[in-house]
Amino acid sequence: MARTTSSRGRGPATGRTSAQLGDQTIIRGEGGETHQIAGGDVPVLTTQQGAPVADDQNSLRIGRRGPTALEDFHLREKIFHFDHERIPERVVHARGFGAHGYFENYGALADITRADLFQRPGEKTPAFVRFSTVAGSKGSPDLARDVRGFAVKLYTKEGNWDLVGNNIPVFFIQDAIKFPDFVHAAKEEPDRGFPQAATAHDNFWDFISLNPESMNMVLWIMSDRTIPRSLRFMEGFGVHTFRLVNAAGKSTFVKFHWKPKLGMQSVVWNEALKINGADPDFHRRDMWDSIQSGAFPEWELGLQLFDEAFADKFAFDVLDATKLIPEEEVPIRRVGRLVLDRCVDNFFAETEQVAFGTGNIVPGIDFSNDPLLQGRNFSYLDTQLKRLGSANFTHLPINAPKCPFHTLQQDGHMAFINPKGRVNYEPNSWGGAAGGPREAPDKGFNSYPAEEQGQKLRIRSETFADHYSQARQFYLSQMPIEQSHIAAALTFELSKVETLAIRARMVGHLLNVDEALAKKVADGLRLKEMPKAAEPARAVDRSLKPSPALSLIGNAAGTFKGRKLGVLISDGVDAALLAALKAAIDAEGAVIKLVAPMVGGVAASDGSWIAADEKIDGGPSVVFDAVAVLLSAEGAALLVDEASARDFVADAFAHCKFIAHTAASMPLLAKAGVAADTGIVELRTASDAAGFVAACRQLRFWDREAKVKRV
Active site residues: 93, 166
Closest CB 400 distance from ligand HDE, rounded Å? 16
CA–CA separation, 13 and 650 (whole Å):
58
Q: Which of residues 381-400 bind ligand HDE (CB under 6 A)?
A: 383
CB nearer ligand HDE, residue 161 or residue 356: 356
Q: What share of the chain is helix, strand, coil (3-state, %, to 5)?
A: 35, 20, 50
Q: Which of 10, 78, 124, 179 binds ligand HDE (CB under 6 A)?
A: 179
HEC per residue, 442-467: CCCCCCCCCCCCCCCCCCCCHHHCCC
Q: Is 229 helix (H, G, I), strand (E, B) or coil?
A: coil
Q: Which stretch binds ligand HDE (CB under 6 A): 300-308, 332-340, 374-382, 482-490?
A: 374-382
602-603/333-343 β-pairing: unpaired
Closest CB 93 distance from ligand HDE, rounded Å? 3
Q: Which stretch binds ligand HDE (CB under 6 A): 8-16, 85-93, 514-522, 542-550?
A: 85-93
**Comparing C-alpha atoms, which of 543, 503, 547 is closest to residue 522?**
503
CA–CA separation, 15 and 433 (whole Å):
69
Binding mask 198-237 for ligand HDE (x = CB under 6 A): ----------------------------------------
CB nearer ligand HDE, residue 321 or residue 590: 321
CB nearer ligand HDE, residue 132 or residue 368: 132
- The CA distances from residue 7 to 32, 122, 586, in Å, are 8, 60, 49
CB nearer ligand HDE, residue 217 or residue 507: 217
The DSSP secondary structure of 631-664, one letter per residue, reads --HHHHHHHTT-HHHHHHHHHHHHTT--EEE-GG
The DSSP secondary structure of 158-220, one letter per residue, reads TEEEEEEEESSSS-S-SSGGGHHHHHHHHS--TTT---TT---SHHHHHHHHT-GGGHHHHHH
Closest CB 100 distance from ligand HDE, rounded Å? 14
Q: Which of 28, 74, 93, 503 binds ligand HDE (CB under 6 A)?
A: 93
Q: Which of residues 268-327 bind ligand HDE (CB under 6 A)?
A: 321
CA–CA separation, 394 and 397 (whole Å):
8
Q: Which residues 6+ apart lie within 8 Å of 414 measured at CB?
A: 389, 390, 392, 395
CA–CA separation, 196 and 308 (whole Å):
43
CB nearer ligand HDE, residue 146 or residue 298: 146
CA–CA separation, 424 and 292 (whole Å):
45
Closest CB 164 distance from ligand HDE, rounded Å? 5
Q: Which residues 6+ apart lie within 8 Å of 132 measured at CB?
A: 90, 93, 94, 95, 96, 97, 148, 149, 151
Asked if residues 507 and 251 have their Cβ atoms less than 8 Å apart, the reply is no
| Core vs surface per residue 489-514: b (16+ CB within 10 A) or e | bbbbbbeebeeeebbbbbbbbbbbbb
CA–CA separation, 641 and 671 (whole Å):
8
Burial class for 555, CB neighbours closer than 10 Å (0-12, 13-18, 19+): middle
Closest CB 603 distance from ligand HDE, rounded Å? 48
Asked if residues 353 and 344 have their Cβ atoms less than 8 Å apart, the reply is no
Closest CB 674 distance from ligand HDE, rounded Å? 41
CB nearer ligand HDE, residue 356 or residue 658: 356
Q: Which of 102, 128, 171, 624 binds ligand HDE (CB under 6 A)?
A: 171
Q: Which stretch binds ligand HDE (CB under 6 A): 18-26, 353-361, 519-527, 695-703?
A: 353-361
CB nearer ligand HDE, residue 343 or residue 355: 355
Q: Which of 176, 552, 567, 602 binds ligand HDE (CB under 6 A)?
A: 176
CB nearer ligand HDE, residue 355 or residue 689: 355
Q: Which of 144, 340, 361, 372 binds ligand HDE (CB under 6 A)?
A: 372
Q: Which stretch binds ligand HDE (CB under 6 A): 372-380, 437-445, 512-520, 599-607?
A: 372-380
Residues that contact ligand HDE, how many (by CB under 6 A)? 26
Q: Which amino acid is at 244?
A: L
Q: Which of residues 141-160 bind ligand HDE (CB under 6 A)?
A: 149, 151
Q: Is 336 helix (H, G, I), strand (E, B) or coil?
A: strand
Does 367 participate in binding ligand HDE (rule CB under 6 A)?
Answer: no
Q: Which stretch binds ligand HDE (CB under 6 A): 164-172, 245-253, 403-411, 687-695?
A: 164-172
CB nearer ligand HDE, residue 299 or residue 356: 356
Closest CB 460 distance from ligand HDE, rounded Å? 14
Q: What are the start-end ranges of the H helices in 345-451? A: 347, 371-388
Asked if residues 224 and 146 have their Cβ atoms less than 8 Å apart, the reply is no
Does 379 participate in binding ligand HDE (rule CB under 6 A)?
Answer: yes
Size of the chain in residues? 711
Asked if residues 421 and 390 have their Cβ atoms less than 8 Å apart, the reply is no
**Comparing C-alpha atoms, which of 511, 420, 402, 476 is closest to residue 126?**
402
Exposure of 112 in the CB half-sphere (CA atoms within 13 A): 18
CB nearer ligand HDE, residue 171 or residue 560: 171
CB nearer ligand HDE, residue 93 or residue 661: 93
Q: Is 570 helix (H, G, I), strand (E, B) or coil?
A: coil
Closest CB 322 distance from ligand HDE, rounded Å? 10
CB nearer ligand HDE, residue 384 or residue 551: 384
Residue with the shortest CB distance to ligand HDE: 149
CA–CA separation, 62 and 57 (whole Å):
16
The DSSP secondary structure of 255-316, one letter per residue, reads EEEEEETT---B--HHHHHHHHHH-TTHHHHHHHHHHHTT---EEEEEEEEE-HHHHHHSSS
Closest CB 290 distance from ligand HDE, rounded Å? 19
Binding mask 581-620 for ligand HDE (x = CB under 6 A): ----------------------------------------
Q: Which stretch binds ligand HDE (CB under 6 A): 47-55, 215-223, 354-362, 563-571?
A: 354-362
Q: Which stretch binds ligand HDE (CB under 6 A): 65-73, 369-377, 510-518, 700-708?
A: 369-377
Asked if residues 144 and 161 have their Cβ atoms less than 8 Å apart, the reply is no
Binding mask 121-140 for ligand HDE (x = CB under 6 A): ---------x-x--------
Q: Which stretch binds ligand HDE (CB under 6 A): 303-311, 371-379, 537-545, 589-597?
A: 371-379
Closest CB 25 distance from ligand HDE, rounded Å? 43
Closest CB 96 distance from ligand HDE, rounded Å? 5
Q: Which residues bind ligand HDE (CB under 6 A)?
A: 90-93, 96, 130, 132, 149, 151, 164-166, 171, 176, 179, 239, 321, 354-356, 372, 375-376, 379-380, 383
